[in-house]
Each structure stands twice: as structure tokens, then as C-alpha cells.
Homo-oligomer: A and B are copies of this chain.
Amino acid sequence: MQALVFDAYGTLFDVHSVARRCEALWPGKGAALSAAWRARQLEYTWLRSLMRRYVPFSQVTRDALGWACESLALALDEAKLSALMDEYLKLSLFPDVRESLQKFKGAKRAILSNGSHDMLDPLVAQSGLELDAVLSVDEVKVFKPAPEVYELAVKKLGIPKQEIGFVSSNGWDALGAKSFGFQVFWVNRSGAPLDRLGFAPDRTVASLRELA
């Protein structure tokens, strides 16, 4: 394997702190809000891709938060919106990331994310991770799991897809990558059932440490 390509949110970076901030702003509603926000965020990436109405992930994320707050009758003002969006710029790495990435040093290591560079670049910079590339779907103006997204990694890294290992904690992302033709490792951190999308990952692990 000449390269390992990682999903960012949920795979390398723990989005739990976003939920914590939701709870701090609206005590008792944090879990419901962050679940509704995350679900709508993903839905909007899929819907906009199908409608051919791409906007950057930062916009999708703001839009989804607006919908989620309205659905729960929570008043969202500019200050709260900024506070929550800021959390995305300083997410923590999962505890197994730094050590595991060291072990993959023989291969190129890259991120391939739905995130736009305005969200991804500050996040990666503050993490101190050393990577060969940080790739955003913003270059192809369509979100995962469209094959154009995974193709971007092939083009940018200059490595054939059969020699790229793709690592994601999102089952649907792992299967989209498998449908495209990568070797796929599903880091099933939450013990979720495998999605029924006609494919299976090459290997399912519980953590990056197990993968290393």
C-alpha cells in the first residue's frame, strides 16, 4: 500500500466537544441538538450533491444548525452560531490517532474530507499532525460518496486506486470508497451495524490502534 487516506470528522477528529458546547448553551438539549445537527448536516451534503447545488461544508454546517435549532425551538443568535462553528476548528484527535499514524510512516498519509479548507486547514494546523496532503471535496464541488471525491485522491497523490488504503469511521463513506475501488478499512468506533449498500469493507476494526 503506497498511501493511506483518512476521513477527518469522526475518524481522526472527535466531534464530541461540539455536543458538549451544545449542552453548555442549552442545558438538557445538547444531545438532541447535536444529533439533529449532525444528521441534517449529512443529509444536506447528499441532497445538495443530488440537486447539483453544491455549497462549501461550512455553509452546509451552518444551515443544518439553523434547521436543528428551529426544530427544537432553540433561539440561535450570531454569538451562539459563532461559538458552535468555532468548536469545529479545535476538535480533539481521538487518543489512538497520533501513535497509529506514526506506525504508517512507510506510506503517504493524507486526509480526504467533506470539510472545506476554511474548516480543515485551521483544524489540522492546531492538531500538529504531519500529513502529505489535506484534500477537500471543495475541489470537485460534490460531496462523498460520489466517486469523483475518491478519484480526487488518486489524481492528487498520483497513486493507483488499488494501492490506496482508505480509512473511515463512517460506514457509508467506507462503502462509497469500496464501490470506487480503494482497499477499505472501516474503523467502527461505535459498533454500528454494516450498512446494506451492496459492498463490504476489506477489514473492520474497532480502533486505529487495532489497524496499526
Contacts and interface: CB of A to CB of B under 8 A. Distances in A.
B176 A70 contact: no
Interface residues of A, number: 34
A197 B64 contact: no
A82 to B, nearest CB: 17
A49 B47 CA distance: 10
Contacts of A158: none
A179 interface: yes
B176 A50 contact: yes
Contacts of A70: 193
Interface of A: 39, 43-44, 46-53, 55, 63-64, 66-67, 70-71, 142-147, 172, 175-176, 179, 192-193, 195-198
A51 B176 contact: yes
A47 B192 CA distance: 17
Most buried by B among A142, A145, A192: A145
Nearest to A63: B196
Contact of A53 (B48, B55, B71, B198): B198
8 contacts: A39-B39, A46-B47, A48-B198, A51-B175, A63-B196, A66-B196, A67-B195, A71-B193
